[in-house]
A and B are shown apart, each in its own frame.
Chain A
């Protein structure tokens, strides 16, 4: 008989392996799901996971979709470690997109080089401003930042809806709820002709490097790590929890805002009723699957991006519902959380111990056996 027993110390091997195990389990479930939907599992597997990245254009799409995930997810992990949960990244992304969109539409007759950087700054500020609300309410009023940041996501969505239906609607747009298309100077440069991936991806790589540096080599990052791992020790050392909250929210808000700019100044090219494909929420999964480490987040973003574009490809080629993507994402996180169990626990064969005294008495013939 075996039972779960706590490990003397967390297993490093499992820490690296559990995301891989989770990914494999998700793929296996996916194959079962494909079979259930009447598809040939291997063929569907190929169409979903391999075919989308078998062309250069496909790889471009992979990097394009991964960009907002990387930007949103890379600092989320830092925050989660310090028990600061920014669940509202999608709202900050939306507000950043709105801010950048407003800048682009205001300067819509200026073909100048400073327009894009200004949009990026505006987007970052927009995201930061939106993230400041949950940070303030948590530090001043002890309010759960999970609920506040989440509520603000819905508010941001509605605000964008209001803008594209009303004040920012394109007068020549046949009454469609969308803004004017941005001028060329307001659109991010493409990395390669023919691909849709743009400079935002390079930016996200820089951010990964920066986040790694921040975690490992700055005192602020160190404080956040300790606050999460040993809150009492952190308190004793004088690490201020409010400071952690502010740093986590400001940085992740700014990055989410930039991700928003990447969307509207990139593939979208205008403000639309929705600018995010749930990237802020997928980024949460990415943060966990990436083990809350910047490089892990980069890899997990690529996986998650593959799920997105695989879903689109499968929808076109196999008529599989696009909702499968959300299903896979949820499954991935479930499996990861389950696999994480084995970091701290392991199966061990249990042999029932016999009390020493009874054993002695029994062997001396004094107790019936």
Chain B
């Protein structure tokens, strides 16, 4: 096994993991506030197409990322309005958001198929990038990879140690108690849902601007659903999300590096691995009902109506 292959494999894991980290972190915050948004796939796709569209026409990746974030928030706003104000069923509305996002992104991207943009540049850190072994492994990523790690740290610290984190967790565990104390449950949930949408949009844009800098219909290929599973797998804790995302990132890129490792398996079966792995980790985590009971936000999936 060629050490260069191993380094390339490990390095590409980070790129593959980053969209999962972004989308899953957003969904983590949303679910900790008690809202289950099944529309991640739709939000990621819309973020991907909008980011690509804006970058293609303006030439600026930053503008594209910003546009993607806003697009994700727009989708999340629709979801939030239906679920938080109109009290619709969260599962059905999330599914509707995914289907709508699939259709909307295909519609918006119809003229973009076949075009490419210059991908997000890989950073070249002054001394670190040139270290013998660790350099290409850890220090040659693009800005978003490092950004996603920072995001994870930020979410972790804020959720656990800050007042806003406490408030969000309170709303997720017992919205009626929070409401009785005087917290604005609906406003907080809107904020969490919009954050989730922004992160999903960014994650999707990373796909179309960095990982594979082009637009293809349905290019997320189920990553939104994997992000959902990741949140469960991580028992709603940020560090678990990071671990899971990198695990899945690795499994996902195996299909490209499998030949280098001498695996004589048809490529379709390697492509199946992330989905099968998702099922396996879900079973591992959900087997013991206690695990879920102890960690799941109590009001997850239930609508709140102030009475």
Spell out A's residues near B (CB within 8 Å). 80, 85, 87, 137, 141-144, 146-148, 150-152, 154-155, 158-159, 161-162, 165-166, 281, 284-285, 288, 321, 323-331, 333-334, 337-338, 340-341, 344-345
Closest to B228 in A: A147
Determine the distance from Cα of A342 to Cα of B88 in the docked complex, in whole angstroms. 11
Would you call B275 and A152 a contact (CB within 8 A)? yes
Residues of chain B lying within 8 A (CB to CB) of residue A152: 275, 279
Contact A341 B88 (CB under 8 A): yes
Chain B residues near A333 (CB, 8 Å)? Answer: 92, 95-96, 99-100
Count residues of B near A (Cβ-Cβ below 8 Å): 45
A345:B87 contact, CB within 8 angstroms: yes
Select which of A80, A146, A288, A327 is within 8 A of B100 by beta carbon. Answer: A327
Q: Evaluate contact between A151 and B279: CB separation under 8 angstroms.
A: yes
Contacts of B97 in A (CB 8 A): 330
For residue B41, give the distance in angstroms from its CB to the closest CB of chain A.
9
| A interface, over-half SS | helix
Q: 18 new A-B pairs (CB below 8 Å) besides A148-B279, A152-B275, A337-B92?
A: A137-B283, A142-B286, A146-B91, A147-B279, A148-B282, A151-B229, A151-B275, A155-B275, A281-B99, A284-B99, A288-B92, A321-B110, A326-B102, A330-B97, A330-B100, A333-B92, A333-B100, A341-B87
Q: Are A142 and B292 in contact (CB under 8 A)?
A: yes
Assess the A326–B103 pair: CB atoms within 8 A.
Answer: yes
How far does the Cβ of A239 sit from chain B's closest Cβ, in whole Å? 20
Interface residue from B92, B276, B287 paired with A155 (Cβ < 8 Å): B276
B83-122 contact mask (Cβ, 8 Å, vs A): 1 or 0:
0001111011101110111111011001000000000000
Quote the shortest CB–CB distance from B145 to chain A (angstroms). 25
Q: Are B103 and A328 in contact (CB under 8 A)?
A: yes
Q: Does B198 contact A (CB under 8 A)?
A: no
Q: Is the CB of A143 within 8 A of B272?
A: no
A338 adjacent to B268 (CB under 8 Å): no
Q: With A and B bound together, what is the CA distance between A148 and B279 in angstroms?
A: 6
**Contact between chains at A334 and B82 (CB < 8 Å):** yes
Q: Does B266 contact A (CB under 8 A)?
A: yes
Residues of chain B within 8 A (CB-CB) of A341 are: 86-88
- Provide the B256-295 mask, 1 if CB < 8 A to any CB of A, else 0: 0000000000101101100110110011001101001000
| Least Cβ–Cβ distance between A42 and chain B, in angstroms | 21
Can you list 22 A-B pairs, Cβ within 8 angstroms, ordered by A?
A: A80-B92, A146-B91, A147-B228, A150-B225, A151-B225, A151-B275, A155-B272, A158-B268, A158-B272, A281-B99, A288-B92, A325-B103, A330-B97, A330-B101, A330-B104, A331-B100, A333-B99, A334-B82, A337-B82, A341-B86, A341-B87, A345-B87
